[in-house]
Structure 1
Amino acid sequence: MKRTLLAGMAAATLLTGGAIVPAIASTGDRTAIQQSLDGLVRDEEFPAALATTGVGNRARSYVAGTAELGGRKPPPLDGRVRAGSNTKAFVAVVVLQLVAEGKVGLDSPIEDYLPGLVRGEGVDGRQITVRQLLQHTSGLPNYTAHLGIDDLEALRDRYMQPRELLDIALAHPASFPPGERWEYSNTNYVLAGLLIERVTGRPVSEQVTDRVIRPIGLRDTYWPGIGDRTVQGPHPRGYAATADGQVVDATEIDPGWAWAAGALISTNGDLNEFYSALLGGKLLPAEQLAQMRTTVPADLWDGGEYGLGLAKTPLSCGGEYWGHGGDIFGYETRGGVTDDGRSAAVAVTAMPGTADEDNAERNFRAVLAAVDTALCEGR
């Protein structure tokens, strides 16, 4: 498995009722879900782990660890975190809404909307379709691979404009011809964001807010404003490693370098509501939702497949779940929803390997296992 998400990523049976009931405190609960969170803190050395699960319109939240290293206060139930590459699913929804409105062609070249912009060694926007951007089959080089993403201090206070991110990517050759295979590239979603802005004439942050966040009533999800380095509202502190291996507080960073690939702030509960609403047909017409759920094999994790801004993951108890997940300085999030209406999201307050880089793969798999436990117990 290659860690690639931003740090290196029957519909009618789903929720159709009202908003999910507010979370129930369960810090003393000894369920398998709570035990898995305790293990993430104890064995994997994450400062904190948070989870929210749901069945139907009922939700329950769990926490383990501490809200801040060196303190004794527990994390806030369903606290806000940086959602990283979950942002891609929100952006993909907006693009597919524009497809449904006849304003964007899913199999049209990106050249039609951003003429002359996508050019480089082996890169030609006339040969790359909108679908290939959303599905990571474009072959575009990944700008975060050339950004010095492991150097927190160099990026913490640096504001970067989207065109700068694109320029970084296009200074490098294409990974492969468009459509040849799958490879995760954050550059695809920088272009998706620019596409939205060109077609609508409005900021992508506004379009995601007005078309996705507000219509389904997500109260704790927002796109940080330009220059906003904080996490607003109740949240646990997030941690990352510096270039010299020191673990430091990474809660406050400028997320401009993540932009349409990963800037959103959310909660586990809101992410569950978003994916439930999406798969329940509340955000896209049936035709576009079917396109979003059409997947190709993806080198994300064991058995992972990728649609259009949406990943499918097999469950140990049978079936699969749909979501995305994300890694960004300070936080990792994983989770999704099943076709029979179960939802689960897990967040930890450091990226895998922050405390011990040699254990990054084990840490990462432990977070995925916690999601699997939550969804399988939820049966």
Structure 2
Amino acid sequence: MKLTQPLFRTMTSAISCAIALTLSACGGSSSKSTTAEAKPNTIEMFDYQALIDNAVTGEIPGVVLYIDSPELHFHGAAGLADLNQQTPMQIDARIPNGSAGKKLTALLAGMLAEQQLLNLDANITDYLAPAITNRIANGSEITIRQMLQHTAGLFDYLNDSDGAFYQAVRLDPDSIKTDIFAIQFAFDQDAKFAPGQDWSYSNTGYILTGLVMDQVLGDHHFNAMRSQIFEPFSLNSMSYGGLEKDHAPITSGYFKDDAETINTRPYYQNIGVADAPVVSTAKDMADLLKLIVDGAQMSATTHDLLVADESFVDTGIGSLQYSHGLFKETINGKQVLHHGGSELGYATYNFYISETDTSVAMLINCNGYQACDNAHTALYQQVINQLTK
């Protein structure tokens, strides 16, 4: 079992960037717990269930798709949740959502800033010990806001380290891995640029933000995320990875290494990090994004932090912009907010189409190898093209 694949949590925008990975011999058994409703004479009724049923006849083991707008509601599942037991995928399946959870970390940071527990424009040296900041390039200059916007120039502990983090997880799968474990893979590495001078996606900034929040809270921030976001927003399926693993089971996820198919679920049961904090259903991920866009359950200041035009910075990639945990771009002439997630064995697509007030989440339980990546990318393209045409 080599598991040397360096792609772990990438800039999966669920829209402009595809996530890589796949699985063969994935059975086509389909859950029929499906709902689909459309208002008559307002939109073309597309058969999304047939689309996902077809997707699981190839490389994808299972998929859940949730679409919610004033004119359309669809919630369906297809394929298998577990290959060994041939368990059908259900609409309430929960998977690790990878970087799609960054918006939760940014949202909590904004809430704590409003509570005057932290200052987003303060240097990380105001909060973290020299034992950490002295080993981060430009540590005396980096602010929390820069880390949340990916303008800090930080080495990416996942994608710049040749798979070192995942190899460490593989060697010790049973212990809980939190931010203090992850940050060691960014120590003593060169910066990509001076803070504030460019844009480069880096998971390290969210790891450091998690450590800052722990410091100001005097406790791990998963408790605040539950009390200030999960429960008030009625995100009942959502839990913090690793640290709330008894909340509900995680669906199996599949990665292929040479000829070996690996269920990565045992690894993710013990990983809880701020750059990929949550496990969730498709419905709760879609509902979360719509709640953020709507802003009714948060202050205007926190709402603006995530979605106001002035919060977005250019990434240098086409029309793609980034705020705090959210991308924004124009797709087929329509404005789309999004942030997906990529883990070994799991892919999350999560996006919101402003013009039609449409919130979408799609969960896939394979990821990290070419055949699966190609398959779920193609499936996503069919969904987004249908919804933005």
Give the TM bin, normalised by the shorter chain: 0.7 to 0.9
One-letter amino acid of the structure 2 residue matched with residue 99 of structure 1 = A
Of the candidates 218, 225, 230, which is equivalent to residue 201 of structure 1? Answer: 218
The residue correspondences of 1:42-53 to structure 2 (distance < 5 A) are: 42-43=57-58, 45-53=59-67
Moved over 6 A (4+): none
Of the candidates 340, 344, 352, which is equivalent to residue 360 of structure 2? Answer: 344
Partners of 2:269 and 2:188 in 1: CA distance: 22
8 Å Cα contact 2:364/2:376 also seen in 1: no
8 Å Cα contact 2:165/2:185 also seen in 1: no
Match of 1:240 in 2: 255
Deviations 1:138-184 (A, max 9, x none): 11111113243565744643533422321220232112211122111
Of the candidates 6, 9, 12, which is equivalent to residue 6 of structure 1? Answer: 9
8 Å Cα contact 2:138/2:191 also seen in 1: no
8 Å Cα contact 1:143/1:168 also seen in 2: yes
Give the drift of 1:129.
1.1
Match of 2:231 in 1: 214
Match of 1:366 in 2: 378
8 Å Cα contact 2:256/2:368 also seen in 1: no
Partners of 1:305 and 1:155 in 2: CA distance: 37
SS in 2 for 1:127: coil
8 Å Cα contact 1:346/1:371 also seen in 2: no
Of the candidates 140, 157, 173, which is equivalent to residue 154 of structure 2? Answer: 140
Match of 2:289 in 1: 275
Partners of 2:343 and 2:272 in 1: CA distance: 8
Cα distance 1:169–1:252, how it changes in 2: closer, same or farther (>3 A)?
same
SS in 1 for 2:223: helix
Cα distance 1:59–1:81, how it changes in 2: closer, same or farther (>3 A)?
farther
TM-score, normalised to structure 1, is 0.81
8 Å Cα contact 2:151/2:197 also seen in 1: yes
Identity of matched residues, %: 23
Match of 2:23 in 1: none
The residue correspondences of 1:253-264 to structure 2 (distance < 5 A) are: 253-254=267-268, 256-257=270-271, 259-264=273-278
One-letter amino acid of the structure 1 residue matched with residue 254 of structure 2 = Y
Partners of 1:101 and 1:236 in 2: CA distance: 36
Match of 1:18 in 2: none
Partners of 2:368 and 2:57 in 1: CA distance: 14
Give the drift of 1:247.
1.3
Give the drift of 1:232.
2.2
Partners of 1:78 and 1:65 in 2: CA distance: 14
Q: Which moved more, 1:55-64 or 1:208-217?
A: 55-64
Within the alignment, does 1:329 sit opposite 2:344 as a pair? Answer: yes
Cα distance 1:173–1:263, how it changes in 2: closer, same or farther (>3 A)?
same
Partners of 1:102 and 1:177 in 2: CA distance: 27
Partners of 1:329 and 1:276 in 2: CA distance: 27
The root-mean-square deviation of aligned C-alpha atoms, in Å, is 3.1
Of the candidates 182, 186, 189, which is equivalent to residue 165 of structure 1? Answer: 182
One-letter amino acid of the structure 1 residue matched with residue 214 of structure 2 = E
Match of 2:18 in 1: none
Match of 1:25 in 2: 34
Partners of 1:193 and 1:262 in 2: CA distance: 11
SS in 2 for 1:120: coil
Of the candidates 36, 40, 59, which is equivalent to residue 55 of structure 2? Answer: 40
The residue correspondences of 1:83-122 to structure 2 (distance < 5 A) are: 83-116=97-130, 117-120=132-135
Match of 2:205 in 1: 188
Of the candidates 307, 318, 321, which is equivalent to residue 305 of structure 1? Answer: 321
Partners of 2:288 and 2:386 in 1: CA distance: 18
Partners of 1:374 and 1:72 in 2: CA distance: 31
Match of 2:26 in 1: none
SS in 2 for 1:6: coil
Q: What residue ranges of structure 2 are gaps of 5+ in the alignment?
A: 1-5, 13-31, 39-44
Give the drift of 1:325.
1.3
8 Å Cα contact 1:239/1:331 also seen in 2: yes
Cα distance 1:255–1:42, how it changes in 2: closer, same or farther (>3 A)?
same
8 Å Cα contact 1:149/1:155 also seen in 2: no
8 Å Cα contact 2:96/2:241 also seen in 1: no
One-letter amino acid of the structure 2 residue matched with residue 272 of structure 1 = A
Q: Which moved more, 1:206-215 or 1:107-116?
A: 107-116
Partners of 1:104 and 1:173 in 2: CA distance: 27
Match of 1:20 in 2: none
One-letter amino acid of the structure 1 residue matched with residue 363 of structure 2 = A
Give the drift of 1:84.
1.2
SS in 2 for 1:90: helix
